[in-house]
Structures are given as C-alpha cells and as structure tokens.
Structure 1
C-alpha cells in the first residue's frame, strides 16, 4: 500500500509542450512523456510528432473536441480507478493562456495530486528565431505579454491602448482575428514604422515569420491568411541597435570581477 501511495503522489502532470518544435521540450517533459501511461493532448495546438516520444502502449486521448469537465473526468478516472500516471500536454507554457487554472482547481477539489512542468512560450521561441533580445539597455527594458479583447474580455485596466503607452516590447497573443483593431490601438502610441514580427505556428513545418512596419500589420496578416496560432511582437528592439549591457563592460565592477 505504501508503494502504491508513493506512486500516486504526483498522478497528473500538466506539461508545457512549447510552441511546436519537439526539440524545444524540456528534459523533464521528455522523461514524463516516455513513461506516462496516459497522454491527453490538445491535438489542435500540439504537433503529433511530439507523440513519437511516448510509450508505444500509452493511451493517447485527443482533447480538441472535449469540454473541461470531460477532460478532468478522464484524468480523475484514469488516476483514481485505474491507478495510472497521466500527462496533460498543453501547447506553449501552461502559465500563459492555457486554461490551466480551472483544471488545477478541479483536480485539487477531486484530491488528485498534480505537478506543472513549464514549457517555452511562443514569445521566447520568436525572439530566438529573430535573433533579438527583447530587453536592450538604453532602449527597452520591459516585456508585456497580452491579448486584445475578443470572445474573452480583457480587464479595462489592461486594454491594449493603455499597455501600448509604455512603448515596451509588446507580445500580442490570440489577436489575429481582431488585427485591424489591434493595429489602430497600437498606432496611438507606437510610430507607424515601428517593426512588428508576425509569427505563425512557430516550430511547426509550416511556420511563417514576417517582419513589417506597424502600419502594415493588418494587411500582411490578411495577405498571409493568418487566423489563429499567430503571435505579434511589437518592439523597438527589432531594429538594429548598438545598446550594450553594463554586466560585461570592462568598466563595470561587481562581486565576481573587481
């Protein structure tokens, strides 16, 4: 009985799959996928190639057509009745726009132990692809992750116009269907020639990245027929710059270099 309880100590693993490239999974995520009995994966958002890492005899459950209640009921049943280990595989990082909050609440209410494994978010993968740092000394030191109001409302204090006023590196998720509105709000504070990186299905075989001036953001989105799975990065850091951190400056002294 003690061994059984120990094996159930963490029964559900909520795992971030990253933006799409299987090579960007964390080592822990790969280990869990290779050993779990059951994988529930968001098949509309996670590439099937990632399933190649799973055990051949693992039960694979697709969840794109399921409600939250159905998904949680499946996890609870596999753990409680069948004593199986379960991976709930999400795209990106579970802490961002993943509907993981309500899953954790329902698992806790059902007394099902769970652990969250972070993943790389699209904005991080985008910066790597673009070969840019989004916090350049003397230029920009803040990153804002947000979305525009759509079917899910954004609190009034977080409206895009308000956030754009900071002129930070702004990463705009889940907004392709409302791109004209987003562009108009951004133009209230960013210059029209501010560069925008339009990033579609990062890490997938059909990945697209386009860099255009802000005033062409909506036009490019429509020309490329981008409706979903699109991230926009609006930032002065996309321009070539000579900004330099003080950390490695020979004139900067700190604890490890006198």
Structure 2
C-alpha cells in the first residue's frame, strides 16, 4: 500500500452480526476505527476490531480533528475505518469527508450497509412495497419534516427518521396531507440492538404512544397502509380438504442430486475469510524471529501470508533437531572373525 486508506463502512442498524463481510474485514484490518457509540453498538467494534487498533469516539471529536486524522493516515500510511450507522448513502454525511480524503491523496472507498428501514421491515415481517397497496417508499430526513404534508399527498408508504419529541408536529403534517387517523404506523427504536423497541400504532394514537413509551430520541417512523396486518392463510384453509403430497419434478430431483454431491466437497473458503482475517489481524507480532518453536494450535487463517510462517516453524524444528544431535558418536568395536578355518 503506497498510501493510507480510509473506508467509510456502513455498520448496519447496530447488531454486530448485521454487517457485511467486507465491512467486518475492513474493521479487522484497520489501524484506527472512528465511530459513535450512541448510534453503533459497541459490540460491533469489539467483535471485529483488533486489540491494537486505535478507537476514536466521533461524537467527542470535532470535524477539524477528524480531518487531521485523515492527514495523519496519509502521512503514516494508516488504514482508517469510519463507521456509519445503517448505510452511508442514507443521511450519512459522508460526501464532504470522501472529497477531503481524495484531496489528501488517500485511497478511499464506501462499503454499503444494511439500512435501518430494511431491518425494521424484517422485524415486523412486512413488505413495504406491496404491489396491491403501495409500490414506492418516500424516505424523509428530519430536516424535511416541513415537506411531509406534500409527501403525504401521494398516499404511499413513508419512512421518516425523526426525534420522538417532534411526533405531535409530525402527526399534524400527516393529517394535513391526507393520511387518515386509522393509518398504521410503526415506530422502530434501535432496531437489532439489545434495547430494541418496536411499537405498532396509528396516526391518531402516535403522539400518545410516543409519550407512553418515552420515545423522545431519534427513531424511525414508518407510515402507510401496507403495514396493516393481513389475515393469515392458515385461518382461511378448509379443514376437511385432504392433504396432498407434492410430486417431485425432474428439476427438484436434479437439484437434490447436486446438493447431495456438494456435501462431500470442502467448505467454501469465502465463508471463513472474515474469521481468518480477524484472527490474523488480532495476533500480536512476535518479539523474536524464531520464538514460535512450538507448533501453533487452533489457528485458522485463509491469508496467503500464513504459508511462510508454517515454513519458518518447520525450519526451526529442523535446526533444533540438528543441534540436539551434536554429541560425538562412539567408534564401533572391531568385528571378530567368526569364520572357521579348514585345517584339513
């Protein structure tokens, strides 16, 4: 690496296991990790960052010092990860920093993440773009809450990241835009995190619900008829209808044969790539060149760099075996002539 690298990584909604493989790999490689504990769960950093990495709380550092950190990364060829909640492309404020890193001559990249909206929809088990009700979603930032009335006139699904303390003003805009009082609303707070809270309510009861649960901080508000629960198919089934077994098709038989054949194949190394990189990055550097005389145990790595290490260990064992056999050998005793002489 001829220069430093800054990676703007989407940490997902907060859970440590809802981050992409590439994002986890960048954190494991990083010399410096910049993050805000208020929006990204600390477990996400502890799970992936190596012990020697420098952790910087972004919420306590002004923008000027962060830019200075990027300059230090360019001068010292450091690998820096800036963690963003959700996806950096959605209200991440990443564009100015991205341009600053490019001007400093740094290698810069953006690693997408799971958006909180997708995580909330997964928790409630709803498709937000149901073709029968709504085929589009309006994403609104807190600064655009004044335009909610115009957005509400479309009558489609709307998702707004907003402090709960402004719920009353938000309801007024929704009503003025045409949303009925019985329109379903889902309030998602810290989705996928240990203190996650998902509340189902309506436009008419939204303000009271927020006060009841004391949701005054930033939360995700999803509004739309597509959130209305549908009747379960199981309740509409006829109990007297006979159960018929499915007939296997030629395609399903071919698929079953292929799956059975793959069982004997070795596992795909791509699934263990992140684990191997994390273990290699967290491993402290050896103080002595040939300190690893004992064979390493339970070390999994998929990096090509691990191959020379195995060779060094093998060479050290061979040298030790030679040094251990430097005792001079005894000369063998002369053999006695056991052959009989014919005197006849």
What TM-score, normalized by structure 2, do the two folds share? Answer: 0.64
Distance in 2 separating the partners of 1:136 and 1:36: 41
What TM-score, normalized by structure 1, do the two folds share? Answer: 0.84
Pairwise mapping of residues 121-140 of structure 1 onto structure 2 (< 5 A)?
121-140=115-134
Flag structure 2 segments of 5+ consecutive residues without an equivalent: 232-344
**Would the aligned equivalents of 1:92 and 1:122 in 2 still touch at CA under 8 Å?**
yes
Flag structure 1 segments of 5+ consecutive residues without an equivalent: 243-258
Residue of 203, 213, 221 corresponding to 1:224: 213
**Would the aligned equivalents of 1:68 and 1:103 in 2 still touch at CA under 8 Å?**
no
Structure 1 consecutive aligned stretches of length 4 or more whose deviation exceeds 4 Å:
none
Distance in 1 separating the partners of 2:145 and 2:57: 32
Distance in 2 separating the partners of 1:111 and 1:177: 43
Distance in 2 separating the partners of 1:209 and 1:240: 15
Counterpart in the other structure of 1:111: 105
The yes-or-no answer on 1:183 pairing with 2:189 is no
Report which of the two has the higher share of helix: 2
Secondary structure of the corresponding residue to residue 82 of structure 2: strand
**Would the aligned equivalents of 1:147 and 1:160 in 2 still touch at CA under 8 Å?**
no
Pairwise mapping of residues 1-258 of structure 1 onto structure 2 (< 5 A)?
4-5=1-2, 8=3, 11-52=5-46, 53-77=48-72, 79-149=73-143, 154=144, 159-188=147-176, 189-241=178-230
Task: Please report how far the alpha carbon of residue 241 of structure 1 lies from its aligned counterpart in structure 2 after TM superposition.
Answer: 4.2
Distance in 2 separating the partners of 1:130 and 1:136: 14
Task: Please report how far the alpha carbon of residue 210 of structure 1 lies from its aligned counterpart in structure 2 after TM superposition.
Answer: 0.4
Distance in 1 separating the partners of 2:114 and 2:158: 17
| CA RMSD, Structure 1 to Structure 2 (Å) | 1.7
**Would the aligned equivalents of 2:14 and 2:191 in 1 still touch at CA under 8 Å?**
yes
Secondary structure of the corresponding residue to residue 34 of structure 1: helix
**Would the aligned equivalents of 2:16 and 2:44 in 1 still touch at CA under 8 Å?**
yes
**Would the aligned equivalents of 1:170 and 1:233 in 2 still touch at CA under 8 Å?**
yes
Secondary structure of the corresponding residue to residue 22 of structure 1: coil
Looking at CA atoms only, which structure, 1 or 2, has the larger radius of gyration? 2
- Matched positions, count: 229
